[in-house]
């Protein structure tokens, strides 16, 4: 009886090994792998800050032959007299169409030496500016005069 139990145990181990080997070795039809080709568009990081000077728009030029993908806009602008209303817009071309983006501003401080109120904004965006065009920050005040405008864009250039 003891020999029978030993033979049954040995047979059970061999059957288990046979099943395990069948599970490890997959069938030829399930072993086929589908490979798809992914092409990445080459991109180069881009960041630039520009100012047009007192009362003039700030403009960043898009390199010729490359689309500029802007991911962050940052701007600073001021207005006089203190307490004046101020609005900001970003103008650019995308797919050949003129686009205007209005940017909400936050008041920061009043410069006591000249009476200008300073405003800033930072905004996460996804802008696609056409090659060879410009991205322009324009300020407008119905109750005062704009001072110096600063525009910073960051993102990447791509040959789309």
Please name each of the domains of the chain with its CATH number: 43-158 (2.60.120)
The model's pLDDT over 103-118, given as tens digits with 9 standing for 90+, comes to 999 999 999 999 999 9
Q: How far apart are CA 138 and CA 51, in angstroms?
A: 11
Q: Which of 118, 86, 87, 119 is nearest to 103 (CA)?
A: 87
Q: How far apart are CA 3 and CA 118, in angstroms?
A: 96
The tokens of 90 are what? 């970003």
Neighbours of 150 (CB within 10 A): 16
The model's pLDDT over 11-33, given as tens digits with 9 standing for 90+, comes to 665 555 556 555 555 544 444 55
User: What sign has the CA pseudo-torsion 43, 134, 131, 102?
Assistant: positive
Tell me what pLDDT residue 30 has: 43
The model's pLDDT over 38-87, given as tens digits with 9 standing for 90+, comes to 555 668 999 999 999 999 999 999 999 999 999 999 999 999 999 999 99
Cβ neighbours for 57, distance < 8 A, ≥ 6 positions apart: 136, 137, 138, 139, 149
């Amino acid at each position: 009886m003891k020999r029978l139990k030993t033979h049954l145990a040995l047979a059970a181990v061999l059957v288990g090994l046979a099943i395990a080997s069948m599970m490890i070795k997959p069938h030829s039809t399930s072993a086929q792998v589908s490979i798809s080709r992914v092409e990445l568009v080459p991109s180069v990081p881009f960041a630039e800050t520009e100012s047009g000077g007192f009362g003039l728009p700030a403009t960043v030029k898009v390199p010729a032959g490359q689309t500029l993908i802007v991911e962050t806009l940052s701007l600073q602008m001021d207005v006089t007299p203190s307490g004046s209303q101020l609005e900001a817009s970003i103008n650019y071309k995308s797919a050949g169409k003129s686009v205007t983006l209005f940017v909400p501003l936050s008041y920061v401080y009043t410069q006591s030496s000249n009476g200008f109120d300073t405003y800033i904004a930072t905004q996460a965006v996804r802008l696609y500016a056409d090659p060879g065009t410009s991205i322009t920050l324009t300020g407008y005040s119905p109750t005062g005069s704009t001072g110096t405008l600063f525009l910073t864009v960051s993102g990447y250039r791509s040959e789309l």
